[in-house]
Amino acid sequence: MWEEDHDPLSGKTMNIRRHIEMQVEKLREVLAGTRTLYEPYRTEW
């Protein structure tokens, strides 16, 4: 969970836990109607 990875969309380096938190936030926004597109995090592993 603490391993770091580069996010190609934001250009930031974050740990996997933070990536998961961001995905939950994006999904919440889509369900609430404040975001129209859900962009999943993809890893190169």
pLDDT tens for each residue of 4-35: 887 777 788 888 898 889 899 999 999 999 99
**Which band of pLDDT confidence, cut at 50, 70 and 90, is reported for residue 45?**
low
Q: Where residue 36 falls among pLDDT bands split at 50, 70, 90?
A: very high
* Contact predicate 39/1, CB 8 Å: no
**11-23: string of b/e by CB count within 10 Å (b at 16+)?**
eeebeeebbeebe
Task: For the chain, give every domain's residue range.
Answer: 1-45
